[in-house]
Structure 1
Amino acid sequence: MMKRACARTIGCFILGMAMACATATAQISPEPTYPAADVRADMDTLYRRLQADAFDLYAFTPKADMDRLHRQLRTDITTPLTRAQAEARLELLAAAAHQGHTRVEGVYATWAAYQKAGGLAFPLAVRIKEGRIYIARNLSDRAQLAPGDQILAIDGVPVTTWLTRLRRHISAETPALADSILEYDFPLYLWVATGARPAFKVIVKPAGASVPDTVTLTARTKVDMASTSQSRPPALDLAQPLRDARVLANGVGYLRPGPFYNEAAKTGADEWDVASFRTFIDGAFRSFKAQGVTRLIIDLRGNPGGDSLFSDVMVSWFATRPYQFFSSFRIRVSADAVAANRNRIARDAVAAGAISQRFADLYATATPGDVIALTLPDSQPNREERFTGKVYALVNRQTYSNAVAVAATIQDYGFGRILGEPTTDMATAFGAMERFTLPATGITVGFPKAHIIRPNGDTRARGVTPDIAIPFPIVETPDDPVLQHAIRIAAADAP
């Protein structure tokens, strides 16, 4: 249950990370506007409360730089702003802290409504690697564009400039993490940066070509792009199937656990009901044992994370000793953190869980500004049933949240080996996010109340580095060469 309190889950990080750019002009219907004075007041409130609430607001950005940006941003607010514009202006300050959980809530609902109403968007999905942008999927009406072609400029602006501009609106510890988020949301960020546009002039360098082409792309609706995607060669989809367990031809077991929460919550079920996940995981491991599997690949690529209530069900099958997903979990007490926890318990004490009550007990003897340590009992290996074969966790740049914690736990306790590419999400991070609402605009702000250090005690803000690196192609195809490489590694490793 701890990761519910400390991790970036899919709802709170990836699908909820899009921030509106202040220059956005396209809206489904007229938005309410806020007087400049109200937005300036909320800018001041935002900064003051983040200073009081965040565990260490200046861990990565000096206070002098944040102070200067705060002054500049509030000075620039001279006219009324829509909600999206106000969110964007406020997010520029929050994102400058370079902490994933120090952030202003974004405009995903506005984007979804825009698309549902037939709004036009940039018709290319992208892959970002080492500061370069490539076409991942061509959803345009220009069939000559192919996955792997490099995008050099959009509307006369080099992609390096676009990346710098858009990263400013993303709360992320590193540019690599911001870019991994942009791979999900590039059309949205481009939309909020430029407003609704009928077309984009793109300079593209086809793979293998020496001379770039200039192509005018007609902006397209979501329906049109979905129709096009069905007529083009498919790309690798790590979300399908959601969960998978099978034995491969060479006897290597393969497990894709899927997100560490109850996916059925989309249809009204309890998001934290672990019963169906436990049934799947227990059945998978029993099947592996019955079929004599001695080497198992656990695929965490593209995994959004979730809650250790779920992931411990899996890890306990192969853990060789008691474990915890952190070596240190320190919390900075603040009035907003105490209030958020109290309100969560008041709304639904059962859903809030034991961890919220544990926070409440700690807060009862602390005062704002105190730093307190959270301790928890160790998670335990299965007593009667265990998988004793070798374990390999496959990760990538879009392994997030609790999935990163799982990989770090496997690596730090020696439960298995990590394969793939480094995660962009952090193994040691400022987390345990809480929220408060700004009084004038009603905009929601998230802040990290805790510093959570990975099991091996490494305090550096960095992802999980694989024990064995696997090269990733620019565009990943359905034959999944990365997985095939991982299978060869596992198959060659003697049981």
Structure 2
Amino acid sequence: MRHASGMLMGRRVRALALLCGSTLGALALGVLTSGVLALVPPPATAQPAVQASYSPDQVLADLDMLYQRLKADAFDLYAFTPEAEMDSLYQTLRAGITGPMTRSEAEARFQRLVAMAHQGHARVEGVYGAWAAYRKAEGRAFPFMVRIRDGRLHIAANLSDVPHLPRGGEILAIDGVPAARWLERTRAHVSAETTALADSILEYDFPMYLWVEAGARSGFKVRVKTADGDAFDTDVAARTASEIAAVAGRQPPRLDLEHPLRDARILANGVGYLRPGPFYNEAAKTGADEWDVTAFRTFINNAFGMFAAKDVHRLIIDLRGNPGGDSLFSDVMVSWIADRPYRFFSSFKIRVSADAVTANQDRILHDAVAAGPISRRFADLYATAHPGAVVDFTLPETQPNPGGRFQGTVYALIDRHTYSNGVAVAATIQDYGFGKVLGEATTDMATAYGAMERFTLPATGITVGFPKAHIVRPNGDTRPRGVTPDIAIPAPLIETPDDAMLQRAAEIAATGPARH
């Protein structure tokens, strides 16, 4: 089952790529805002040519169509936002269309409406392309990577021309506007169920959304508070992608969960450590290769073979920063620790719509290999259902690994940047009792509106994603919330290479029982 495939890099690589304006950075949105259980998008179909600008009538017509199709397509568009509030914003946005707009201006306006639904799989992604183009053209941006904790904005990496700004220092204001207000304004562009999820996304994307809100700036006046409580104002120059790339290598060392991307080893205290990495083929050269599980299966099987050979009885599976992917991959790993058949959901209901049917047909028609058997299951379901109907979608249980399983105790380590299928894996481990979950709560949802599909608006060619399904975690908890760890391990404000979270997890694992 495809969860979310768009995120091609992990958190720190992705954040820096976005600041530097790389194409990969622009593609990285998929899983950060994609959340749980999004299907692979359908192949590109014929779209209208991109114009320099669009007339008010064109933009109005597409905005009207966007809202009407979202109402028909989304499983429950008003699950978190009352219809009257969305109607009010829709009318406000509509009234503001008084002159020609560029595609990026229309995309930003449309995303404001879609984000108001507060569903991670309802979104317009065009801002990433506009941002990448702006950065490629040496457009200047806010020169900090940020950490957001308890609604407060902190400096995670200082990429500015002012070297004395402290890492971990709190940004109190930008250009005289309180940081809390900037967070409120930038969150309005983010499709997310909760403020916590929006903030975890903004830890990657804050400079981009500040650009959307404030426009291009040559510099910023920032007010910063140090750890000892001193506050001061300073001017910092906005920086180009090349300038940020040049200074990035001179930053103090930070925790790097990207190298190696996948890791299997024995920690000093004899606890096994497995970092599976993303649940897709990150080395893929084509769309079909992205779902080739061969290398991943070899890695996982070799890892568990090594744990058996080394007589490992306690294992940490590190899902921190995991962007998600496909259960085709994660089941290879989970089946090694499962003591009985399982599913990653207890309920999977789909609202049938014309756009969902069309997207599924396009996927099968244009890329049957990437579509796989799940799309054909959807097609069979749609063949007997009418638009507007809500139907149950079923999948067979996944069986434990037929060649044997890990007999020891398992601990899954999660954090606020565990997304999508990573969340589903953690929920499965917790709900079936396959192991204990450690770390900080995920911001992405374990029960969510997902299985995203897309449609394209006829005048502007803007693509809109919508969640066609409601997927409930294995234990049946329907509340929209993340995975709460069995044992909490707070994440440091600024993570350093000594990896305090993993150290604490290893201590907990080492003193735990040796057998599940």
TM-score norm. by structure 1 comes to 0.94
Q: Give per-residue Cα distances to partners, 1:352-379, cap 9 Å, x unaligned.
A: 1100000000000111011110111100
Q: Give per-residue Cα distances to partners, 1:40-88, cap 9 Å, x unaligned.
A: 1111101100000000001111111111211111111111111111001
How many matched pairs?
481
Distance of 1:455 and 1:138 partners within structure 2:
42
Q: Give per-residue Cα distances to partners, 1:200-242, cap 9 Å, x unaligned.
A: 100000112x330101111112222222222221111222211
Tell me how far 1:108 sits from its aligned partner.
Answer: 1.6
Q: 1:111 aligned to 122, 128, 131, which one?
A: 131
Match of residue 174 from structure 1: 194
Q: 1:314 aligned to 324, 327, 333, which one?
A: 333
Percent identity, aligned pairs only?
A: 68
Structure 1: which amino acid aligns with 2:335? S
What is the 5 A alignment of 1:7-86?
7=4, 9-10=6-7, 15-16=29-30, 32-86=52-106
Tell me how far 1:269 sits from its aligned partner.
Answer: 6.9
Structure 1: which amino acid aligns with 2:105? Q
Q: Is the 8 A contact 1:324 1:455 kept in 2?
A: yes
Q: Is the 8 A contact 1:154 1:201 kept in 2?
A: yes
Distance of 1:113 and 1:332 partners within structure 2:
36
Mapped pair 1:247 → 2:266: yes
Q: Is the 8 A contact 1:16 1:106 kept in 2?
A: no
Structure 1: which amino acid aligns with 2:133? A
Residue 110 of structure 2: SS of its match in structure 1? helix
Residue 51 of structure 1: SS of its match in structure 2? helix
Point out where structure 1 has 5 or more consecutive residues left out of the alignment.
20-29
Tell me how far 1:9 sits from its aligned partner.
Answer: 4.8
Q: 1:220 aligned to 239, 249, 274, which one?
A: 239
Match of residue 218 from structure 2: 198
Match of residue 367 from structure 1: 386
Mapped pair 1:126 → 2:146: yes
What is the 5 A alignment of 1:65-464?
65-208=85-228, 210-266=229-285, 270-464=289-483
Q: Is the 8 A contact 1:99 1:171 kept in 2?
A: yes
Match of residue 22 from structure 1: none
Structure 1: which amino acid aligns with 2:227? A
Residue 37 of structure 1: SS of its match in structure 2? helix
Structure 2: which amino acid aligns with 1:329? F
Distance of 2:106 and 2:444 partners within structure 1:
27
Tell me how far 1:191 sits from its aligned partner.
Answer: 1.6
Q: Is the 8 A contact 1:294 1:390 kept in 2?
A: yes
Structure 2: which amino acid aligns with 1:85? E
Distance of 2:27 and 2:195 partners within structure 1:
15
Structure 2: which amino acid aligns with 1:233? P
Structure 2: which amino acid aligns with 1:79? G
Tell me how far 1:473 sits from its aligned partner.
Answer: 1.2
Structure 2: which amino acid aligns with 1:142? V
Residue 155 of structure 2: SS of its match in structure 1? strand
Distance of 1:15 and 1:61 partners within structure 2:
23
Q: Give per-residue Cα distances to partners, 1:166-209, cap 9 Å, x unaligned.
A: 1111110001100000001111111222222111100000112x
Q: Is the 8 A contact 1:14 1:181 kept in 2?
A: no
Q: Is the 8 A contact 1:18 1:106 kept in 2?
A: no
Q: Is the 8 A contact 1:124 1:187 kept in 2?
A: yes
CA RMSD of aligned residues (A): 1.7
Structure 2: which amino acid aligns with 1:138? N
Structure 1: which amino acid aligns with 2:186? L
Q: Is the 8 A contact 1:245 1:254 kept in 2?
A: yes
Q: Is the 8 A contact 1:17 1:106 kept in 2?
A: no
Q: 2:502 aligned to 450, 475, 483, which one?
A: 483
Q: Give per-residue Cα distances to partners, 1:395-437, cap 9 Å, x unaligned.
A: 0000000000000000000000000000000000000000000
Q: Is the 8 A contact 2:341 2:399 kept in 1?
A: yes
CA distance 1:214–1:31, shift in 2 (3 Å)? farther
Q: Is the 8 A contact 1:426 1:461 kept in 2?
A: yes
TM-score norm. by structure 2 comes to 0.91
Tell me how far 1:243 sits from its aligned partner.
Answer: 0.6
Distance of 2:113 and 2:130 partners within structure 1:
21
Tell me how far 1:309 sits from its aligned partner.
Answer: 0.1
Q: Is the 8 A contact 2:339 2:400 kept in 1?
A: yes
Q: Is the 8 A contact 1:239 1:302 kept in 2?
A: no
